[in-house]
Structure 1
Amino acid sequence: MDAHVPQRKGLAGLIKPVLLAAGLMLAAFAVLADEGGRFTDPEDGRFDASEHLLKYQGVLPVPIIITEPAVGYGAGVAAVYFDESIADASQHSMAETGRRAPPNISAFGGFKTENGTYGGFAGHMHSWDGDRIRYLGGVAKLAINLDYYGRQGNAQRYTVDGLGLVQQVLMRAGDTPWLFGLRYAYFDSEMHFDRERPLDLLDQTFKQRLGAVGALIDYDTRDNFLSPNAGSYVEGEGNFMRPEFGSTNSFDLLGARAYHWQPLSKSLVLGLRGDWQLAQGQVPFWAQPYVKLRGIPAARYQDRQAAAGELELRFALDERWSVIGFGGMGKAYGGRNDFAEAERVTSWGGGFRYLIARKLGLLAGLDIARGPDDTAFYIQVGSAWR
């Protein structure tokens, strides 16, 4: 087996990390539940973090657990600062505008994975006027190790190393679910292969500056942005790289994604997802769209265009526990092959969820997904679709 390919074939390689993750989660539940009943819901006597999350203010350490097959297992930590509690922020915005708004949040942290990928980041999220205006900004230093499969399908390791930033503002259209925004992103990068460069990439430059101005349109009717049970989220975006924006080459990245959740009964929720991306112009190979599905490594199936669809069913066993099943398919096409000739890839899997914060409607749990080449597991907090 190529040493560059994550060695996760079959379920056997998942047993230890899955048991470890499940054990850590259950141990954390047990310890927290013993702290004077602070993490026990008085309604059902079960573990619940609602009061802790609703009233928390200040710096909150948050562990980062990475299970992405493309980069291997990894971990990190983030320090997240809330300028006021979720409860206070919601109360203040309701009194002023009649709309709930999240607190302003700052964060910084870092991570590293088993294949040598690492990164550090700092960011801030802010809202004004009862969530009519949303701001997001951040900087990051990243060194990402991935595999390029090329026309022959043979994995060849490469690294993209760089420093980037993003600045984004969204504004709500009146009292509607529509938001419109602008984004500026910049990434000063250097790319190299561990071995000889593939013949089909001889025209690619080692150093690239990506400077982009983007436009976004969002439509959001989700009943809960953390773990929706009903409603829709749709986003369309266009990012335009030009020398006048700081980019080495001129190219465009366009995309659209849509999620919908539909209750089928009191216990059953259907989720539907669609995703489409297009690259045109002098785009670096590593920035091209790729199929995004659980169980398929990032950038494994990549081309000028990528499309994916996914279905998820969540069945509530009781007020706290749910089981889910999901399946999806996708294609990368437009450069090497047209849509009809491109390989169709599928993935499927299942998992469980626990209502970890009843008052916030927040679900957390584990997914195990099987793709064409890998079986992977994912720790989920909130919806798997972001």
Structure 2
Amino acid sequence: MLIRHALCAPLCVNAALSSEADKRSRRTRRASAVAAALLAMSAHAHAASKFIDPEDGAFDLSDLLLTHRGVLPVPTLITEPAVGYGLGLGLLYFTMPKKSADAPDDAKAPPNVTGLGGFATGTHSWGAGLMHFHTWDDDHIRYLGVVGKVGLHLNYYGIQNRPRAYQLDGIALVQQVLFRIGNSHWYVGPRYTFFDARTRFSGTIPQGIREFEKDQRVAKAGVVVDYDTRDNMFYPSSGTYAELEADLARGGLGSSTNFQEQTARGYQWIPLSKSWVLGLRADTGFSQGNIPFFAQPYVSLRGVSDAKFQDSNQLTAEAEIRWNVTPRWALLGFGGVGKAYGRLHSFSEAPTAFGFGTGFRYLIARKLGLSMGIDVAHGPGQNAFYVQVGSAWR
């Protein structure tokens, strides 16, 4: 009996040790599984946190765009009557400018933005472009650069206000640098615009176009003066933005023809209450000299085909009322009128353009003040809708 117990003792001890090892192994596997689950949940929560604003728990892209090097895709369903129906896609990349040590605590500079995009429509119109906006020295220097190529099928309406189809192809370039005057809200600087264009009409040249040239270069340089007190550059709730520009197009700058152009535009946002904002817009353009027909000032309104109302000069006014239903969602209504006049028609004889409609915005990136939404508009004999990033007023 003692011998049998002696012989069995090691086996029993080994069995006990083996049982204890199995228990530890099972506990280890359970702990590993729990850790893996917690890690997966943490990773999921971290990924989800990129799209959730901790301030209100709403869907938001601020952290993704600013801290995770994200790109904001802007798909667009094009319904612009001038070029027809089509699709477009823009990619916007945001970075915040560096703040100097001696900058005031409440100083806010707009984000740097790089954009790449393109579009195509059913009329075989297309375009592609690259833009960059950058600020330095606590928003004391602002740079804007744009380069693009287009192939557009458009209509020229002329004296009889009847559409005549033409094709406009070309490469465009814009370069601008503005410098802040002291610590004021005023900026001043040069702008250069170049457009190497080729135009083709199907048939005879419409009445009202003087000295038509198939290949023309528009190259103009000028001075830009800006005044900016907006609380946000994308979709303001208060403040004023105004811009004056005077340009000369000359052969020495690369232009095929000589002309002068002056433009002035101003936007005012007035907070009527915590939930209501009134926006007012005035836009003017004047030209003199041998300006190409496609480069003339024109009325730009939601619901109105671009370049349909075009002449040597244009005047436009528009108003917009916004109801901030929640801190994220807003509804708006808008309406405006305009006239193009000068060479084809006198001011009193020129037809009046009008457009009105409604829309909505969602604050998709709170830290940037960036909203996205849709506007639906009605104009002379047509309807249109637009995918908007921020304000429709540029």
Normalising by the smaller structure, the TM-score range is 0.7 to 0.9
Do 1:97 and 1:129's aligned partners in 2 also have CA atoms closer than 8 Å?
Answer: no
How far is 1:64 from its partner?
Answer: 4.6
CA gap 1:247/1:301 in 2 versus in 1, 3 angstroms: same
Cα offsets for 1:343-371 (capped at 9, x unmatched): 22221111112222223332221111111
Q: Provide Cα deviations, 1:302-332, integer angstroms capped at 9, x if missing partner.
A: 1111111001000122222221111111111
Q: Residues 34 and 56 (structure 1 numbering): CA distance in 2 closer, same or farther, change over 3 Å? A: closer
Paired with 1:379 and 1:370, the residues of 2 have a C-alpha distance of: 15
Q: Which runs of 5+ in 1 are unaligned?
A: 1-31
Structure 1 equivalent of residue 69 of structure 2:
57
2:130 alignment partner AA? A
The separation in 2 between residues aligned to 1:317 and 1:270, in whole angstroms, is 15
Instruction: Determine the structure 1 residue equivalent to 2:332.
Output: 324
Count, aligned residues: 349
Counterpart of 1:70 in structure 2 is 82
Partners of 2:204 and 2:45 lie apart in 1 by: 55
- Note if 1:36 corresponds to 2:42: no
Structure 1 residues 188, 46: closer, same or farther in 2, change over 3 A?
same
TM-score, with normalisation over the residues of structure 2? 0.83
Greater mean alpha carbon deviation, residues 187-196 or residues 301-310: 187-196
**Equivalent runs, 1:198-237 vs 2, <5 Å:** 198-201=206-209, 203-237=211-245
Aligned to 1:306, the other structure's residue is in SS state: strand
Q: How many Å separate the matches in 2 of 1:307 and 1:80?
A: 32
Determine which of 126, 133, 146 is the counterpart of 1:138: 146
The verdict on how the C-alpha distance between 1:95 and 1:35 changes in structure 2, with shifts beyond 3 A counting, is same
Distance 1:371 1:169, change over 3 A: same
> What does the per-residue CA deviation read over 1:168-212, in whole Å, with 9 as the maximum and x for residues that have no partner?
110000100000010112211111112332233363111111111
Distance 1:172 1:102 in 2: 14
Q: Deviations over 1:240-262 (max 9, x none)?
A: 10111111110112100000000
The answer on whether the counterparts of 2:271 and 2:278 sit within 8 Å (CA) in structure 1 is yes
Change (3 A) 1:96 1:58: farther
Measured in 2, the distance between the counterparts of 1:38 and 1:107 equals: 21
Partner of 1:359: 367
Could you tell me whether the CA contact under 8 Å between 1:274 and 1:309 is conserved in 2? yes
Most deviating of 241-250 and 348-357: 348-357
Give the AA of the match of 1:246.
G
Contact kept, 8 Å, 1:295 with 1:348, in 2: the verdict is yes
Give the equivalent residue in structure 2 for 1:383.
391
Could you state the TM-score of these two structures normalised by the residue count of structure 1?
0.84
Aligned partner of 2:266 among 252, 255, 258: 258
Residue 36 of structure 1 deviates from its aligned partner by 2.3
State the partner residue of 2:126: 118
Q: Is the CA contact (8 Å cut-off) linking 2:218 and 2:254 kept in structure 1?
A: yes
1:337 Cα deviation from its structure 2 partner: 1.9
Residue identity matched to 1:220: D
Distance in 2 (CA, whole Å) between partners of 1:316 and 1:172 is 32
Shifted more, 349-358 versus 175-184: the winner is 349-358
Instruction: Give the drift of 1:104.
Output: 4.2
Q: Percent identity?
A: 49
Find the aligned partners of 2:45 and 2:162 in 1 and give their Cα distance.
49
User: Are positions 1:293 and 2:305 aligned together?
Assistant: no
Write the letter of the residue equivalent to 1:236. L
2:311 maps to 303
Query: What is the Cα deviation at residue 44 of structure 1?
Result: 3.0
After superposition, the Cα gap between the structure-2 partners of 1:33 and 1:215, relative to the gap in structure 1 and judged at 3 Å, is farther
Alpha-carbon distance in 2 for matches of 1:256, 1:281: 19
Whole-Å separation in 1 of the counterparts to 2:45 and 2:156: 46
Q: Shift in Å at residue 289 of structure 1? A: 0.8
Asked if the contact 2:320–2:333 (Cα under 8 Å) also holds between the matched residues in 1, the reply is yes
Q: Distance in 1 between matches of 2:45 and 2:153?
A: 40
Residue 93 of structure 1 aligns to a residue whose secondary structure is coil
CA contact (8 A) 2:109 2:138 kept: yes
What 5-or-longer segments of structure 2 have no aligned partner? 1-43
Offset, 1:37: 4.0
The amino acid across from 1:136 in the alignment is L
Deviation at 1:143, TM superposition (A): 1.4
Query: Using a 3 Å threshold, how does the CA distance of structure 1 residues 319 and 51 change in structure 2: closer, same or farther?
Result: same
CA contact (8 A) 1:96 1:130 kept: no
Amino acid paired to 1:44: D
The answer as to 2:202 corresponding to 1:190 is no
* Residue type of the alignment partner of 1:297: S
Equivalent AA in structure 1 for residue 103 of structure 2: T
Helix, strand or coil at the partner of 2:208: helix
8 Å contact kept, 1:329–1:344: yes
Q: How does 1:141-152 map to 2 (within 5 A)?
A: 141-152=149-160
CA contact (8 A) 2:159 2:345 kept: no
Amino acid at match of 1:117: S
Q: Please point out which of 177, 180, 197 is paired with 2:185.
A: 177
Match of 1:129 among 134, 137, 145: 137
How far apart in 1 are the matches of 2:266 and 2:194? 26
Quick one: structure 1 residues 44 and 59, their matched pair in 2 at CA, closer, same or farther if it must change by over 3 Å?
Answer: closer
